[in-house]
Chain A
Amino acid sequence: MSTADQRSGPAELSRRANRLRGRVLRAIHLAGAGHTGGSLSCLDLLTILYHRVLRIDPAHPGDPARDRYIQSKGHSVEALYVVLASRGFFPDADLDTLCRYRSPLVGHPTRKTPGIEQNTGALGHGLSVAAGMALGARLGPHPFNVYCLLGDGELAEGSNWEAALCAAHHRLDNLTAIIDHNGLQITGAVREVMNVEPLADKWRAFGWEVREVDGHDFETLCGTFDALPFAPGKPSLILAHTIKGRGVSFMENQAGWHHRVPKEDELRAALAELESTAATPAPHGH
């Protein structure tokens, strides 16, 4: 399995993520649709997964020994498409077909797109499928790791907790769930819509080994992903504290940007801000 382009370091990942943020915003602007805030909150996590962690080869997307990534919070598909294109799964120009008539780039992930493993978009589905994949990996003949990205608002879906029980019961230490914990969902603050806290305690109680991290700090993230699995015989959970709309000051922490599409002037301002961020040392933490 080729690992070309993997093991990027924190500084390189940070620079790349900054560029990809701009690409996400341009794709959403052109499509006139998309989940802006959530795509920006999980983009750093996807960048590290696809450019450091996952053992994948875009030239052989069906390799049975590849690692699997399942995006349970399927609405942030724009970030996934941009990262897949950056990893070489399909040409960057295809991003301009997002949501167009007959485009394979549907408004939620589908296996029509090279590199995508599972059709998601209805919330609360990904972790069960990921657990099934992790069971399959353990049964062989090809061992691999499985990663699943969950939203925090998504955790109100009870099916997540069925999957959480199952993964711990079956001791799936080849499975890692990552929560994009930006604290906001479409209606407002997660803790006001349906409080899911205390998340770390809940997952520990369900039998998972938990690490809490700053989901935008690449130094910490690299160390955290490198330490997987966190404990033998237990599934791993990365509770990543993130900022919805991360990287664009007027989008940050605004539930209104859940699926708002940037207008021409907003896009220009956002891209200018991302460019000026790129010119300064990569920020850590928040």
Chain B
Amino acid sequence: MATEVAADPAHGLANQDVFSATLLELARANPDILVVTSDSRGSGKLVPFGRELPGQLIEVGIAEQNLVGVAAGLASTGKKVFAVSPACFLTARSLEQIKNDVCYSDHPVVLVGISAGVSYGALGSTHHSLHDFAALRAIHNLTLAAPADNWETRGAVHAAAAAPKPVYLRFGKRPVPHLHCEPAEPFAFGRAYRLHDGDDLAFLATGETVPRALGACRRLASEGIHARLLGVPTLRPLDEAALLDAARTCAAVITVEEHSVHGGLGEAVASLLLHHRLAPAFRIVGIPDEDTVTGSQEEIFNHYGISPEGLAQTARDLLRP
């Protein structure tokens, strides 16, 4: 639980708020930066953007297929386009537009899935995006990132704005704790970040599950178990060197994601490890293949063991001889 990892860092803002503030800063300086929304400026925290830069926000109404097609057309004319819509709709209803209009046609659109994963909580599975990594990992020519904290979010928005290729970013709507206190280097796609040191086992976590995994590391440390935590904001390209090093060093690997256990970070890591003949004790923690339980994001996380204690228990079980 977020409250359990707040011992040191102060809580930050919701990543969505940081996304919109960062984008506004960038767009003030660059009139070619545009936002396209599908009646989603409120949930995307883009109302101030629209108020200050109305000429740089294009509204297409509740029509996500058109949102992505329009974004592709705009990008083809040299604009830097951020297409912003709830991740659940953006990556399912518009999947063919993402595949053909953006990725296959190679227009450097930034697709921004807001209120991703189970951010919408009790609104139910229509509003959850537990498929987006799986669907988008199978589409060529798309960088995939799920920033964990405000620093990663800010860095990912800057990196996406500069990217010459299509990018998908997903953000949640709840405030998140700071994880990177004094980063030594700027954010880059394809980098994993070591957030806790240890060689007994490794948590490889992405998005808003990372602070939960950090909480688990601290619990385990008090029991004499030294867990490594790699924050993996970029699902494609993966930081293969960092992940392989963790799997070679540690006896157990646990992946954690706010996504179905099918087709996301866990299976990407499993594939990587098998290709390198590495077979540590291994668990994929995510949302299982079932009708997702009703509840807030926090309650859903806790229900499926995506909590400091749940993850610590998974680690204890995995390390038990």
Contact = CB atoms under 8 A, between A and B. Distances in A.
Interface of A: 64, 68, 110-111, 117-122, 124-125, 127-137, 139, 142, 158-159, 162-163, 165-166, 169-170
A135 B66 contact: no
A158 B104 CA distance: 21
A-B pairs with lowest CB-CB distance, top 10: A132-B73, A128-B69, A136-B77, A162-B66, A132-B70, A162-B63, A133-B73, A129-B73, A119-B105, A132-B74
A142 to B, nearest CB: 8
Interface stretch (B95-103, B194-202, B283-291): B95-103
Nearest to B68: A128
17 contacts: A118-B73, A119-B100, A119-B101, A129-B72, A129-B101, A130-B73, A131-B69, A132-B76, A134-B73, A135-B58, A135-B70, A135-B74, A136-B78, A139-B55, A159-B66, A166-B61, A169-B61
B137 interface: no
The A interface is mostly helix, strand or loop, or mixed, namely helix
B73 A136 contact: yes
Q: Which of A124, A125, A129, A131 counts the most chain B CB atoms within 10 A?
A: A129
Give the interface size class of chain B.
20 to 34
B60 interface: yes
A36 to B, nearest CB: 24
Nearest to A126: B69
Contacts of A135: 58, 70, 73-74
Given A111-B106, A139-B79, A162-B63, A129 B96 contact: no
A122 B72 CA distance: 15
Contacts of A122: 96, 100
A86 to B, nearest CB: 24
Given A125-B97, A135-B58, A159-B65, A118 B74 contact: no
Given A125-B100, A125-B101, A169-B61, A163 B66 contact: yes
A142 B60 CA distance: 23
A131 B73 contact: yes
A271 B164 CA distance: 47
A111 B105 contact: yes
